[in-house]
Chain A
Amino acid sequence: MSADTIKLRLAGVGKRFAVAGKPDAVAVDDFSLDIRQGEFLVVVGPSGCGKTTVLNVLAGLDTATAGTVTIDERPIAGPGPDRGVMFQDYALFPWQTVRGNVGFGLKYGPAGASLSTAARNERIAHTIDLVGLKGSEDKYPHQLSGGMRQRVALARLIANEPDVLLMDEPLAALDAQTRTILQDELLRVWGQDRPASERRTVVFITHAIDEAVFLADRIAVMTAHPGRLKTIVDNPLPRPRTDATRALPEFQALVQRIWSLIRDEAYRATVA
């Protein structure tokens, strides 16, 4: 497979929500974007601009009211284990412990079908360790802090090793240090050290611009009301990216550029 294969394609996608007694709310309008196989695409934009809506359409949880959405050139008709989702509100199962949540897809879904029980448990333990939750395996979600819950949700996604990772502000609730560590881990899971053709495909929503610049191959900037794609910024920073990357003048310059792109939008969305 060439590195330029299109994995996900959004063509003229629109999403309206019916609102009782009012005209439909246009959440997303005429949104077109090709996401390449093995690409790390980050979406930024002001709150309420339709980022989660786009992600839900890609996940197959919501249907677009206009346009087409495809994966590997086939229309997306519903959710599937090839596209793992990390939800903005985590959606952890309250009756499952940390271990049960992380292993949910492996145990009850197709993701773990080819694994022995031992291999499955090994992967669960490894993933829990990866997000720094060792020692909390037997706790229930209501016994965890917000940041810990977010890490459980991240581990649950990673443990299933889906082809495509759709992540909605996955690190937003974490402290700066943990966030930095998990950004590195995420790049490793994605396949930063592998050739582009062997990487997973990631669509990652964030409000943190430095995070976007650190992680992304490309950054999609959205505008609000209606949610549209404003522009796509290529990120030429070399890989593998490390702590040294953040110190590069190019890094700072790119952060500034993205910020100036969304600043007006952010003001408009906040004041409006």
Chain B
Amino acid sequence: MPMSPVARTRVGDALVYARTMLVFAVAWWAVSRWTDNPILLPSPLDVLAAMGDLAREGELFRQAAVSFGRMVLSLAIASALAIPLGLAMGLSKTFEAIVDPTVELLRPISGIAWIPLALFLFGIGNVLPVFIMTYAAFFPILLGTVAGVRAVDRSLVNAARTMGLPTRGIVTRVVMPAALPSLLVALRLGVAVAWTAVVASELIGAPSGLGYAVEWYRELLMTPQVMSFIAMIGLIGYICDGGVRLLSRTLTPWAPKRA
């Protein structure tokens, strides 16, 4: 059966992908044979076996679900705080002048830098990773919202004004939809930084989650398990990114296509 051009590139992409992975696995296997130290670098086959065990027992998915849930919660909190604040900052120069110095002061401090202090405040538990991730996701979402509101085409606002929309209507019917694509780009960035922070914060400050599992098996010197969880972290990060992109396409079918 002849293939459509799209299907052909899909198959082509998959082949390229498979080949790259194979080269990577073979190189890994060769290096592991050469170093010959399964604690330092186990062979890919050992890792695959460990992953299979962890998946069968369910621990892999249990820990992933815990981390994923924390990230979703953190993004929800960060969005609920950052979007209204960003909207207000984008709309009012005065308000921005008041808030901006604080934001600019805190922004360069990475979420991870707060972990020691957060340990004092919250102890080990659910709160700490959620706090760190919320903090990390907050700034990209805030800045993306402000930039989106700023970039709203004046002529669209003018068009709405000539149709007699009240200020409130202009914000909800023009500014917010116009800023949505920029906000979604920011959300994508927020997901990335939150997921990066999940592992770091769970490594130290949580009794569960993928980061915790990595640390737990490291102490037991069970490197194949450690690597299984690391692979899971990468996989979920990848899926989340795809999820946000899918969300963008569904919410803004009208926006010019991005990569």
Chain A contact residues, CB within 8 Å of chain B: 59-61, 78-81, 83-85, 87, 89, 91, 93-96, 104-105, 108-111, 140-142, 160
Contact = CB atoms under 8 A, between A and B. Distances in A.
Contacts of A61: 158, 161-162
A142 B254 contact: yes
A84 B254 contact: no
A141 B180 CA distance: 17
B163 A105 contact: yes
A95 B155 CA distance: 15
Given A95-B177, A95-B252, A108 B155 contact: no
A79 B254 contact: no
B101 interface: no
Contacts of A95: 177-178, 180, 252, 254-255
B159 to A, nearest CB: 4
Contacts of B256: 142
Contacts of A108: 160, 163, 165, 169, 173
Given A79-B158, A111-B164, 17 more contacts: A61-B161, A79-B162, A79-B164, A81-B164, A84-B163, A85-B159, A87-B155, A87-B158, A91-B153, A91-B158, A93-B156, A93-B159, A93-B174, A95-B177, A108-B169, A109-B164, A109-B165
Contacts of A142: 254, 256
Given A108-B169, A108-B173, A109-B164, A91 B159 contact: yes
B161 A111 contact: no
Contact of B254 (A60, A85, A94, A109): A94
Interface in B244-259: 252-256
Contacts of A96: 254
Nearest to B161: A79
A85 B162 contact: yes
The secondary structure that dominates the B interface is helix
Contacts of A81: 162-164
A124 B169 CA distance: 20
Nearest to A93: B156
Contacts of B165: 108-109
B156 A91 contact: yes
Interface in B159-200: 159-165, 169, 173-174, 177-178, 180
Contacts of B255: 94-95
A94 B155 CA distance: 12
A79 B157 CA distance: 11
A84 B252 CA distance: 28
A89 B156 CA distance: 10
A104 B160 CA distance: 8
A60 B156 CA distance: 15
Interface string B129-166: 00000000000000000000000010110111111110
A84 B178 contact: no
A105 B174 CA distance: 12
B252 to A, nearest CB: 7
Given A89-B155, A91-B155, A83 B162 contact: yes
Contacts of B155: 87, 89, 91
Nearest to B178: A95
B253 to A, nearest CB: 7
A121 B155 CA distance: 26
A56 to B, nearest CB: 8
Contacts of B163: 81, 84, 104-105, 108-109, 111, 160
Contacts of B156: 91, 93
Contact of B162 (A59, A89, A93, A140): A59
B159, B161, B162, B178, most chain A CB atoms within 10 A: B162
A78 B167 CA distance: 13
Nearest to B180: A95
